[in-house]
Every structure is written in structure tokens, then in C-alpha cells.
Structure 1
């Protein structure tokens, strides 16, 4: 129900709005009693819950009453650890608790559930030290001017209630872990927020800034990238969505053209309509103004008006600025600063002149792309005794933090490992000692799961078929095909725009080509693409023939059925000419973006904010890989090799939001590329390498989520314990200081009801033969006749099964050899401890699935069998990728009690408390060599396995992880010198 159609007297919506407002701080309460107390209407229907139910059942999507309840229920569903609730957020239990407190009956509950389904997608994951609570929901509600404005803007932009509330919860989690801006003793928190590549981290830190300045932070410094263009993009976003028209204009009259000379954004097509407006200066509305110390086109040069720029208003000059009597009357200052040595030096120099007042200013420093330039990468071995040598940017940030003792530092990144492995013993560095928050994958985001079938153990999966086009020696370089795909997808966007799809997402249409970091090679590649383009004959018979064939072979097959797509190329053909014209506009379809000079980024076609339509092919290197958002990116052509995990991950420019055209996105990527030169050269598969990094990142997020819940009110894992946790799974990540070690050592990982799949199997024939022999008691326990297994509607498969005691399994596991022993040893520690007590494991069902592919080979192992070895490849040095197959896992989860869905009769016959399930996969990495009797040599097979410990072994009141302090005399030291550790 819009404002225009709203009834003149919607008593029901008004009353419910008043009631829900009264509950916003204290949580849900008996609704009918509040309705009776607050209703001043003569309409008895206003307090009749059956009338409320009937209106819900008939409500249109915009009905004001429905909107009120959708927002309030979502907020209650999402709220983390509220005082009024004992249930977990985002669960049916939380919703039921809300209904109980509201005293709603079953019919009304059913109507509300239909109108506002419970959103069960995971929220932000927080790993945190214990902190002093100060930023309660009531405190946040008392001062929320800028947050409320930002929230309204997000809703106007079309954000769903779940998306807005999710951002609210994530931003609240950050702010509540900062120091109270009014506290007497200064403290500077250090935190890290981990998002996804191209996933909207800016929206999160805009929300954090809004909440922080509302709460009392009065100086905000945003480190906004290493380029003027990136810094300007961040400044514009904050100006548009947070700072607002009135703060930008200051005292200037918006109706006086002369007064607007020199004011930002007079040439911006989005000014003023899309810039937030408060209706008047915030200070006239009972809030406070924001003063910008930088602008869209002007980085920090110097404090305008000198020291007076940071002279804060103090109603009581006998008290410090951070005293509540002064703090909430003062204006906030915001600056967006490029991560550049000379710029930061100017800022530090100016701040030094200000003197003691700096110690009174609650400050928030936001570091966007915090793993780029900010981390100290100097070699500790080269430091002089007793000193720390810092890189240029790291040194300046360190000086900022020393000058501002009340400064809170929050880094934002999608590739957190460099930050996690900062030396925590360096008190002046940026290790996230206080908190690490992992943001959830946003709705509508195209990420790793859309390009990689992470659960697929072999063969090409659905995601790869839809979006990935491999470049092999046999296929040629496929560059012409990629260019054709770019034209086709442009035409398809134009077709959809004329068939009812909003044109907004199609404003820009781009292609990214990345083969090398060498600038000379970029120029040659751009020339080659230009020549190919002009010879492609896109508007002639040959060009149309190629495009028609590609459309039929590729894009028509994978088109989203919910979006308009032509059934024949003939319907699309009229739009091809227009797409070609837009891409060719200006004479060349190509832009080269590769230099160290800012001039490269001053090209109009790189300013997606100011240029109405960018339809271009971008050829570039490293500079395109961080922070810079390539709007409208639809086709990516990637062949650059690198051994740096974070560099490879950040090149995932193809990740992001693709509304209206996600089915058109294509990634052309090298599958047989040369890495290195001469004798050290080797062929690498970039797609698999990228997948390995993505898999590690997903595992890292999963580990954080697993250990985030509190146990007995205390955290299971603190940020200081994350490095050894990560190192266990990422053997290619190394701390920078080789002469140091982490003082916390991971000892045990308890995993009841959780899938565990070790992948660090040995590589030598001798060690493989040893491991195979160790499994002989298990092989002997398997039945000879296959059984058919299935769970619910899942696929059925045949397997040989057998039961072994827990003691037999632990004896086998203790005998195994590993290429990276630390990967499995903490899990083994749990299994060894589960031999007795309340969490005792009785026995294990062993399942050996039989392969069904046409290439399967039957083989005997140590006289047992026959088995059908699976074919797998190692993807990360000695580590395998996925070993088990998704279709086999549900049976194991059901047997271990981790899945409620019933299986077939055979499966249900194996289910019992205290029983775990183990999938055993004999694996071969190449064509198996079989003896005359069909036996495979023990050294040619990898005895891979996955398992689920019984859910009943969870126990109570115990954390899932246990750490050991190496040097107990230095409990608080996270990193220690190896030389100082006594044997």
C-alpha cells in the first residue's frame, strides 16, 4: 500500500506501528494487552487479532501493515543474543519464541509465516576476544540519526528486509566491539571484516561509519585504495549515501547558482536526486553535522583552516572531548585518503601540530583492501636488533595509530590471510587482535559456487558447464570466440531491455582480458584485439554466421528461463548492430589499463560513475585486480599465471552482482598455461589453481563458523588462535617471520556429526604401500555382497559395507603416514579421546562405494575385493581436492545421526547411537597397473577416507577446539622466538 493509496484513517496500521515501536528496544511482549492499552479508537476491530489475520491473508506486497510486521519480525529473527531471547537467531525456534511472547494463536502464526517466512540463511560469523559491552540495542536506538537515514536509503534502492537487517546486524557486531567513545581510559581496538570479492563491502563499512558517528566517534579516516580513481569512488559513495546534500553544501544556498560554484557534484548526473537528503542541516534537526576534510576530486592535501579544522566544539571546556557532555554536541569530521606515502605523511605531519587534543578524539580508521599495502612485508631477519623496519604505508598507518590513542582500526578485505598472519607480537602493527568478522555471501551474488563445482570429485559439473570455457592447446586461444561472446551478450542485454527487463543493470557492458603483468605485452595484446575486432565482420554474413553458431551452441542452451531470451538468432540479429556500435564508439573497442601513472585511470571510460554507458574491452594487469570494480563485466578472458594465492583470488573480477544477466556471464580461462621459464617451467591449470584457492577460502569461512559459538559464555577461539587453525589447512601460507612460531598450538578438533575429509595423503609408493597395509583389518571386515543404499529422495548406490570397533579404527588411523601430519592430528586426538566416557564412540560402519562409470576398473587389494578404485587428482601440491562424492555422503551422515531424513531399509538397519560412519575410497591417480589375478600394487593406491563421528559424541560444555600454549610463562604472547623455547 503506497502513501498515495493509503486510507485516510488506517487505524490498524497506526496502532500496530505504535505497538511495535514500543517493543523495538525491549523485545516482543503480549500483543493483545498492549493493543488494549494503546488503542484510543472506537473501532473494536483494531484490537481483534482475527481482523489482523484476515488482513494479512489478503494483503498486497506493499500493504503498510504487512511492511511493518515484515521489518519487525525480520529484526527479531536476526538479532544476535538479545536479552529477551534464549534461542539462536535465524531459526524456527527463535520465531516460535517471538510468537509465544506475543501470545499469538496458531492461525495468526500460520498467516505471519506465510507472509514473512523465516530467513534461515547464515548471518555474519564473529571470532572475538571478550569485550566490555557498551553498544546495546537501546544505546543504538537512542542515537541513530545517520544510521536511520542510511537504512531508509537502502530500502529505497530496493534492498530486501532481510538484506537491510543483515547489514544492520553485521555493522552492529563491528561497532559493539570498538571501544566506548566516552570511556575514560583510551583503548584502540583492532579488527578485520572479511567479505567476498566484489560483494559490497563498502555498504557494510558505510553502515559501520553511520552507527559509529551516531554513537560518538568524531573523526573518521577511510583509507580508500591506492589510486585517485578508487579513492574518489569511495568518497562519492559516502557523500551520496551517508554524508548527504546538506553537509556537502554547508551554508551554500542550493537555489543560488553563484553559491554553488566549486561545490562538488554539480556536473554529476545523479546530483542531487540520488544523494541522500535530510530536509535540513542535521544540526537543525537535533543531530550533528558532518564536515568533509576531502572531496570527490581532492585527496587530503592539508587541514583547511589549519589546526582549527580539528577544533571541536566543547560546551564544557573543563572536560575532555570524549566526555558525553561535549561529545554529542560536536560535528563529525570525515576524510577519505588514498594509501599513498606522501599523502599519509602530510596527514601525520599536520596531526602532530595539533597536540594534546588528539588524545581526546574518538577516531575510527577504516582500511579498505587492508591486505594491500597496509601489511608490513619487510623481512624480520633484516631488522636491526630491537627495531622494526616497516614498509612505507604500514609505517604511516602505525604513526597514525600512535598519534590517535582512541583510534579504532577496522580492516576490510576478501583475502584475509596476509592480515591473519601479521605478527601479533608487534604492538604497533595491524593484527586483528580484538575481532574477526566473516560476512555472509549476499543474496544475488555470483561467487565461487557459480563457477566451481566444489563438491564434484570428478568430471565437469553444472557450474563449469554454464559459465566456464577452458583454453587448451587443442582449442587454440579462443580469443575470437570470447570477443564474439562479448558482442552476443551485449545484444542479449539490449534484447532484454526491450522486453521488460529494467535497463539499470545494462548501463555498462564490459569484457576483461588479462594475460600478463607486462605493460609492453598489454599494448601488443590491445592492438591484436583491435585488429581482430575490425576484421570480425560483425555486421556482415561471416560475422552473423559465427554469432548464430555460438548462440545456438552456448547461450541459448544455458539461458535463464525466467528472463526473456530469443528462441532463434534471427530475433536477436537486429540488436547485434547496436551492440557493435556501442562497443566501437570512439573508434576503438579496447581500453588499456596497466600503468603506474594516475593518467591511466583518468580515462572517461573508466569512470563508471560519471560516464553514462561504458561498453568496452579492458586489457590490463595488476592494477585492475584490487578494489577497482569493473561494472557490467560479462566476459572475462584470463591467462595470467601466478604463484601468489591472494593475487589469484583478487583477480576474480568475474565475481559480483549480475542482475538480469548472470546466465550470460562467461569465463575463458587457461587450462594449460606455462608457469616459469627454462628448466623450472611447468604447465598449470589456472582454473584448478583458482578453485584450490577458493576451496581454501570456503574452508576457512566454514571453520570460523564452526568455532564461533560461545561455550559457557566464553569464546572457543580468539583471533590470536586463528593462525594455527588456518595453517593446518593451508600449507602454502607461511608466517613472514621464519625464526618465530605461534605460541598457541592446535591440539584437538572435536567433530561430532561433522564431515571430515583429510586430503594430505603421502606421495611415495613406499608410504602409500604402508598405509594400504594398515587398512587390511578394515578391508577384511567388509561384506562380499554389495548392498543398495539411499537416503530420502537422494540417489541410490551400491557399496560393500562392514562394521568395525572404534579401537580397530583408531589403531589403523594411528599407523597412517601423511604428507602434512598437522592436517589430521587434531582430529585424531578427538577420536582417541572418544574411547570412553559420556562421549564414547562404540563402532563404525565402513562404506566402500562401487563406482559406476564406464571407465571403472575392478581390482583386488591385499587379497580382498573386488573394489572399483576412484580416479582423483592432487590439486594443491600434495593435497587432493574433493575425494568423496556428494551422492554418497547423506548415507554416512544419516548413520552417524547427523541427518534426520530417513534412509532405505538397509540404511536404517545400521543407524544406532554411538556409531560413526566412514567412507573408504581406494583412489588411483593414473591408469592402475593390475597383476595377473587382478590385484593392484599397494603402492599404487591411495586409501582415501572421509568420516562422520556420531552426533551422540558431542558431549556438553566443551569447546570444539583445544589449544596448547607452548611457552606457559608467556601465556599472552601470541608469537615467540623459536630460539627461546626450551625443549
Structure 2
């Protein structure tokens, strides 16, 4: 059956099923009934229709759920304007919606409609007279469909009469070209390739081809199709109905040309306040005139990349500064373009908003106008439940270990040798490095296995009926083009050898045995596990090896090996091969790291070692949607990167929870910005090497701080146990011994342990001063925490403390202080080597409620449920316990009828059993090697109540410790916040 017929059948049946969905779940029998009705309309389809394929697709569509977006807004100076009457004749949006409904369920299309309505409504009415400017930020997930959102926004903005729409599409030609192609399909409706004499319609142009609404476009999909001198000269904006679209790189030369053209050909009014103050960037055009006739919308894709005014220079592979990509210059140019219009709107899109949050809201200059802080709104996009994000790939931490992750990650440890700077691809290698693996093979065993994994994934997808879909593999191990070339040659040789031996059946025994072993020991169990988790729409039927064997030769013939170096050709190949599906192994460096979508990504081999949240998250090309083949996907990466991805997975989840709660309580972007700026976890968003000690200003109000990394040095562990002993002796007799009880409306809760109430702040501060945290544990530094508590106590907050020593009844008893024993807790070690004992999570989620009243519990639960409801409901089951975030908010700030108690802090102690920090083997526990003979570990958590106080504590970051942890990050092109600039500004 042709794809057009299949799409038609799916569309008709989907429309027939929409009303049925209200009555209950969509079943295969119901779908079959509607297929019969559809085929009655077109009997000629009966012979060819693949009913099973249609049924599978519709089950997938109707089983996807998506929650509601959440927003922080500031409506000062804003006039509400968007209602249903304004949308009655919106043709750009209607044809885009009809196009996406071919691939998406109606529910998802409806959510996109509501989401883009909300974003557009928070901007200003383009028909509003006078002078206005709005700044907003849309936060999505990596590889989660941000492009669909801003394409919908472009369509609606054009319908609403925004006349000039500029899309800033990354730093490189391939991403710009990819964005241009998607906007051609979703908005323009025609190909912009100048080589065609006849207009070629694509996407929405095949749905509504009325030339009277054909948008103008000043850029093309070609490699050199960016806004340039030749294409700019003949352009002249006139007061016509059709909008103009510009898809441009964030490149100094391009933006200078665009700004000059706006000033020379579009601006119609001199600035009212006279000659602008000369700029420090003397080579940039000044804003001497303004455009008053046409409203402007700028959409900034990857808005945290290059747009933020950091003062950093982008460096090329030789370490030389490239003025073309100076982010300060880019920031100035974007703002000058906005400042050239009396009516303008700016919307940034990003999955990693940390840098944007750190922009100073009042960073306004005369020539540039306001900075790009999202002062009007921040919108958090909800992801469908079939989105594979960090929590799915890496799980979330819990006291029992990580939960919810799929078994698709494979640690790689053979890329460097024991001797520093040696091996196949050692960390910190230079531009002249020659990758050589040991033995007879050019490639290490891990990469050979990853390549075999990709070959099997392509083969199995073909057997599942996905042979005409794109399949991609990412190999990202070096940023140097010269090293990538050697690697490409070696991978080419490997693929050619497989093609010759397996395809021709010549001496293929070893190759086939290796593939068979990988399939049976890895693919079969992984598919079963993903199927059991109910993820990825994995087919229920298992394949047999003979089917794979028969299909392998054809798949190997289709495989291509490519280097991605920033040209548009690589991005265009997916479009050119959409009928048969491209099977490509993509080798690249930084140009693969951000924004560029690798269609049908199955296998990732990733070794680059940045530890910055936003850099790492953006490099996670493996996040996204994997319908029908999630179980075939693999991520091969280093243990260090696995550990860091787990860390940022937890931190990102925490940040989104904070955002949702603040949105529920009516906070503004500015309030959220201040919260994030003082958040101790966010210090790792900087990507600059700190060459001297820097001061960060941190606040712990409303935070939960817990020790999860401990030294393995026996003397240090013993000193911490002594500090705990002294604390409990100073605290005196416990208020509750052996068992701690609390009564809530939801029932009674019991803990095994002891509880002290009303302990003086000096006792807690003495404990923290005597406790030694690892210098590498930047967030949990006992001395900084002690100083913060002292400062808060000076303002009459955190003066009285509750201390809990908690354990388990099944744990081996340990006497921490005379007469005070507790059953030791078990927390699994993440590694049995090195000088650290690292765990996932210390606290059980309900432990924070150990000293709250029934009224506080009820108020926190109400806040938790309210926040959950506003995100949209997937099921009828609401949370039945309050979140820790809500508990801390209520404890400190109170709510209606509940008084806040910002003077009360909570310290919880645990004694961890180092002899049971590994796996259980039979009847015995395996002790990690680095904890051999170690005494128990005293761990603590501090739960700080929410506070309106602006108290912050300075934290000196030592350059040696910082560079040890984040040294490689400075090599990246990705631009984040320059901490010295940010914190100097904040302190002022």
C-alpha cells in the first residue's frame, strides 16, 4: 500500500475514532470496525490496505498522553487580545494543523494548538499601536518537538499580522538549512531552492496552494542560502498582506547585513531621542532609525547558545578566537535588530534555560535596548508520555537505587589506557592524535560492538516494517576534524569488511557468530525488558535469528558513513532520502552536539566529557521519540558521563518541580530567575575554566541538601562519626526514643530512630563545622552551610532545630552516642573504585515530614495536588502525600490558616552500613573494594523551610578543584553564562 493511501486511511479512521474516545479506551476491535467503514468509502483500497499496520499506528496515537504546559508570567503593560474571534480565518495555522495530523493524534495536535495560543497570547497584539516590546522563553525537552511548537507559533503570528518573522537557527549551516526545510514544509509551503524555475510545493503548500497567502522568504535551503548581500539587495518591504520570513544563522556577518538592510530599506522613522550613544562595538551598525509600520517577531532557536551576553569567545578547533561567533557581538546584534522596531517580540526556545535565567533583567543600553531576559513569560512545554528523556534513559534516584530507567546504556572503558594521555581516544587528546587500538583491530572492542548493534537495529527495524524509515548512528568522540577523518576511514573499512564477508558469504563465520551472540545476550533480553515496562510500542512477536540472517546483506548494502562538518548537504540528505530511508553512521564533533536532529537515531557512541548541565543535556541526541524501536536503541558512553547524566537528570526534575510549584502560586519570571540564580545546584552551568578563585552567592532557603558523596579515608569517616556523637550529646535527651510517630489525616507514620526538638542553632552549626564534606561536593559544603545558617539566625530565622537520627529495624545496630543506637541503613555504592563512596539519594521522600503538624501536612498536600491538577491529569489518581518542595514551602511561608515557621530547621542523620554498600550475593553482601575495612558513614540531610529572606552566602570556588571537575568544558563551542560577569552584576 502506498504511503499516501495509508495516510488517508489513518486520517479517516482517526476522525471516526475521536468521538468514540470520550466513551472509553480505543480497542483494536473498534479500530477494525472503523477501517471497514473507511474502506466502504474507497473500495479500491481493500486489496492493498495493510490493516495491521494501520491498527498499530492508531493504537500508538490514541495511547499517547500529554499534560498541560505551565507558565510564569508578568502582565505589566500587557493588553490581553487573543480570543476565538481572532482565529476564525487563520489559514496558515489551519493548513499546518492539517499537515501535522497526518503524523500526530488529534489530542497532540489540540495540545499544540493550545500551547501556541498561550505563547502568542502572552506576546503583544501585532495590531496594537504605539511602542511595545515583549520578551519570553519557551522551555522544552531535548529532541522533544520544539520545532513543531515554533513552526506553529510562526504560522499563528503570521495569521495575527506579524509582518517580519526572523528565526535564528543555530551557529552552523546544516542546522540553519534543516530549520529552513522544516519551515518550508510547515509555513511557506514551497521549496526555496533557487535552482528551480517552477515553484515546487511541499508540506502545507500541497494542502492550501492559494498564491494570495504565499509568504515571502529572504533565505533558501541551500548551503549558501543564508541572508547575504546578493539576496538582500533586491528586497524591499512594502505594506502588503503577506509576511516575510528570514531563517538565519547566529553569525556576526549575517546579522550585520540583516541589521544594515533593516536600517536602510525598512526603517521609516528617526529615533526620537536623537543620535544613539556610540557603541563599544564600533564595527556594528547603529540603530539610527526605527520601523513603525511592521511588527517584528524573532524566534531564537537554542536561545542559550550564543545569544546570551557572556563575553566569551567561541574558539575553533585550533583554539583561535573566531570573531564571527563572538556571543557578546551576537547578543548586541539581536538586541539592535529588536531595537530597530517600535513594536517587537522575542521568543527564545531552549531545553536548557540556565544561561537565559542568569541574564540581568535590567541590562539595558541605549543602542541595544533591554537585554534578552524573558521578563514577560517563561513557558514550560509538557512532553508526551512517549518521550524518551533523561528520566527514562537514566532513571531517577531513590533510596533503593535508580528507578524507571530502560536497560539500554552500555559503559565504555576501553577508549584510553591506564597511562594518562594514551590509548585509542584519551580525554584531552590533541589535534594531531592518531587513534590506534590494540591488537589486530583499528577500532576498540566497544566501538565494534556499537557498530554491530547499529547493524542489528537497522535489520530488526526493517523486519518490523520500518525499512523505509531513517536510521542513524552517532559517533561523537573528538572535536578535531583531523581525528574524525581517521576515525571515518577506520569505520568505513569495518563496514566494507562486513559487507564483503556477510554479503558474499565469504569467511563470514566469525562475523555472524559475533552478531548472533550480541543479538541473543543483549537484544533479546533488552526487548523483553522494555516490553515489560510498557514503553516504546515494542511488538509482542519475537524474531528468529534466521529472519535476521536473511535480511542482513541488504541492510549492509544501504549503510553509509558520513562526517558532519557543518555543511547543509548532510542535513538535506534526510529530505532527499525520505522515500527509502537513510541508513547513516554520522561521525562528528561539536556540530553534532546541539540542535541538529539525527533522524531515527538508534545507536550513540559518545565519549566527550563536559560536565556542564546545559552542554551535556544538549549533547543528548539520544533523547526524543522512538516509536516501535526504543528497545533497539543503545547508548555507549563512559562511566563518568553516565554518572553525570544521572546527576543532571535528578537536578532537571527538581528544577521543573520548582517551576511548576511557582507557576501554581503565581510567581513571575523574575522571581524564578532569582531563585535559580541563588540555587546551589546551578553553579555547574558555567562553561568557562575559572583561572582564579571565584565567589558564588548561594541561598539554601526552601532547599533540601543531602550528602550523597563521601570520602573513603578511614580517619575522615571516623572524625565525622565523632562530630555526630558530639551533636547528639549536646542535644540532650531525645523527645522520642527508638520509634518516632506522627499523625496526619492520611494516617499515622512511624520511623525507626530518635527525635530531638527545639535544639539551639549553635549546636547544629558546631556539628557542621566539625563535619568534613568532600571538596568535590560543591553543593554540600558543611562550612558554607554553617555560615548560611549563622546569617539566617542573625535575622531570627533557623534559630530552632529538629534533629532526627533515622535507621531501619532490619539494619545492624550502631551506637552513635552513649545510649543512642540505630539500625544502620543501606545505600548502594555507584562504584567500587576511586576515593569516593557515592550514592543516589539519601532521604526517603516522606522523611521530611517527620516534624510537621497535621495542618501543615494538609496544606502541603493541597498545594501538591493543586500543582498536579494544573499540569493536566493522565489518570484519576492524585498524589496522596505532599512533595518535599511543598512541605518546605508550607513550613516556612505557611498558607491560609497555617502559620509559617521560618525559625525551624530540620537536620536528619543516617548511619550507612559500608559492609552492605554493594550487591547481595546469595546470603552475603558484597562490600565495594574502596570501602574495605571502612567504618560506618555518617550522612546528613538539611531541610530548609521556605523564606522570603534574601540572605545569601558567598562560596569561594577554588580554581584547581573547578578545573579538575570541569576542565574539558572550556573546549566546547556551546556558550553559557560567564560567572564572573553574572555574579559581579548580581552583587551590584
Q: Normalising to structure 2: TM-score of the pair?
A: 0.66
Distance change (3 Å), C-alpha of 1:414 and 1:810? farther
Partner SS for 2:258: helix
Q: Given the alignment, which residue of 299, 302, 311 partners 2:226?
A: 299
Q: What is the deviation of 1:761?
A: 8.4
8 Å CA contact retained: 1:449, 1:463: yes
Equivalent position of 2:475 in the other structure:
513
Distance change (3 Å), C-alpha of 1:567 and 1:409? closer
Equivalent position of 1:98 in the other structure:
none
Cα-Cα RMSD: 5.5
Partner SS for 1:398: helix
Equivalent position of 1:591 in the other structure:
562
Quick check: 1:336 aligned with 2:289? no
Distance change (3 Å), C-alpha of 1:345 and 1:280? same
Equivalent position of 1:945 in the other structure:
941
Q: What is the deviation of 1:240?
A: 1.4
Equivalent position of 1:158 in the other structure:
104
Q: What is the deviation of 1:368?
A: 0.8
**Deviation digits for residues 243-299 of structure 1 (CA, Å, limit 9, x no counterpart):** 335x989xxxxxxxxx995245x4xxxx54764522634x4xxxx552222233332
Quick check: 1:442 aligned with 2:384? yes
Equivalent position of 2:83 in the other structure:
137
Distance change (3 Å), C-alpha of 1:716 and 1:528? closer
Matched residues in 1 for 2:234 and 2:11: separation?
53
8 Å CA contact retained: 1:190, 1:432: yes
Equivalent position of 2:885 in the other structure:
none
8 Å CA contact retained: 1:748, 1:962: no
Distance change (3 Å), C-alpha of 1:887 and 1:339? closer
Matched residues in 2 for 1:975 and 1:523: separation?
38
Distance change (3 Å), C-alpha of 1:152 and 1:512? same
8 Å CA contact retained: 2:768, 2:785: no
Superposition map of 1:239-258 within 5 A: 239-244=184-189
Equivalent position of 2:960 in the other structure:
none
8 Å CA contact retained: 2:471, 2:602: yes
**Deviation digits for residues 394-443 of structure 1 (CA, Å, limit 9, x no counterpart):** 33323312322322111111122222223434323322233222212233
Matched residues in 2 for 1:479 and 1:803: separation?
53
Q: What is the deviation of 1:159?
A: 2.6
Distance change (3 Å), C-alpha of 1:557 and 1:884? same
Partner SS for 1:407: strand
Equivalent position of 2:621 in the other structure:
653
8 Å CA contact retained: 1:198, 1:653: yes
Quick check: 1:196 aligned with 2:196? no
8 Å CA contact retained: 1:516, 1:621: yes
Equivalent position of 2:3 in the other structure:
none
Partner SS for 2:595: coil
Distance change (3 Å), C-alpha of 1:191 and 1:735? farther
Partner SS for 1:469: strand
Q: What is the deviation of 1:607?
A: 5.3
Equivalent position of 1:867 in the other structure:
823
Superposition map of 1:875-914 within 5 A: 882-884=840-842, 896-897=857-858
Quick check: 1:578 aligned with 2:551? yes
Quick check: 1:686 aligned with 2:641? yes
Equivalent position of 2:494 in the other structure:
532
Equivalent position of 1:173 in the other structure:
118
Q: What is the deviation of 1:557?
A: 1.4
Distance change (3 Å), C-alpha of 1:160 and 1:916? farther
Superposition map of 1:723-802 within 5 A: 723-726=676-679, 728-733=680-685, 749=701, 756-759=704-707, 769-770=722-723, 773-776=726-729, 781=734, 800-802=752-754
8 Å CA contact retained: 1:884, 1:946: no
Q: What is the deviation of 1:201?
A: 0.5
Quick check: 1:186 aligned with 2:119? no
Equivalent position of 2:425 in the other structure:
none
**Deviation digits for residues 433-478 of structure 1 (CA, Å, limit 9, x no counterpart):** 33222212233111101111222446565525x1111123599752
Q: What is the deviation of 1:300?
A: 1.8
**Larger RCO (CA within 8 A; separation ≥ 6):** 2
Distance change (3 Å), C-alpha of 1:135 and 1:823? farther
8 Å CA contact retained: 1:791, 1:890: no
**Deviation digits for residues 843-893 of structure 1 (CA, Å, limit 9, x no counterpart):** 9794723286xxx76533123214314446699999976423668669969
Superposition map of 1:228-627 within 5 A: 228-244=173-189, 261-263=196-198, 266=200, 272=202, 275-278=205-208, 280-281=210-211, 283=212, 289-297=214-222, 298-302=225-229, 306=233, 309-313=236-240, 330-354=241-265, 355-356=267-268, 358-378=291-311, 391-427=328-364, 428=368, 429-457=371-399, 459=401, 461=403, 463=405, 466-472=407-413, 477-497=445-465, 503=466, 507-536=469-498, 537-538=501-502, 540-559=508-527, 560=531, 571-585=544-558, 589-593=560-564, 595=565, 598=567, 601-602=569-570, 605=573, 612-627=580-595
Matched residues in 2 for 1:620 and 1:736: separation?
23
8 Å CA contact retained: 1:760, 1:820: no
Matched residues in 2 for 1:391 and 1:693: separation?
27
Q: What is the deviation of 1:704?
A: 1.5
Equivalent position of 1:109 in the other structure:
none
Matched residues in 1 for 2:594 and 2:98: separation?
30
Distance change (3 Å), C-alpha of 1:634 and 1:865? same
Distance change (3 Å), C-alpha of 1:845 and 1:616? same
Distance change (3 Å), C-alpha of 1:849 and 1:626? same
Distance change (3 Å), C-alpha of 1:62 and 1:809? farther
Question: Which 5+ residue runs of structure 2 have no aligned equivalent?
Answer: 1-6, 35-61, 270-290, 314-325, 417-443, 770-779, 862-878, 883-897, 918-931, 954-979
8 Å CA contact retained: 2:710, 2:836: yes
Q: What is the deviation of 1:55?
A: 12
Matched residues in 2 for 1:649 and 1:421: separation?
18
8 Å CA contact retained: 1:379, 1:737: no
Query: Aligned pairs, how many?
Result: 772
Matched residues in 2 for 1:198 and 1:981: separation?
36
Question: Which 5+ residue runs of structure 1 have no aligned equivalent?
Answer: 8-12, 18-50, 65-115, 250-258, 314-329, 381-388, 498-502, 672-684, 904-912, 929-935, 950-958, 967-973
8 Å CA contact retained: 1:509, 1:633: yes
8 Å CA contact retained: 2:74, 2:669: no
8 Å CA contact retained: 1:127, 1:704: no
Matched residues in 2 for 1:574 and 1:4: separation?
30
8 Å CA contact retained: 1:348, 1:396: yes
8 Å CA contact retained: 1:127, 1:717: no
Matched residues in 1 for 2:710 and 2:614: separation?
27
299-308 vs 525-534, which moves further:
299-308
Matched residues in 1 for 2:745 and 2:206: separation?
52
Partner SS for 2:236: helix
Q: What is the deviation of 1:541?
A: 2.8
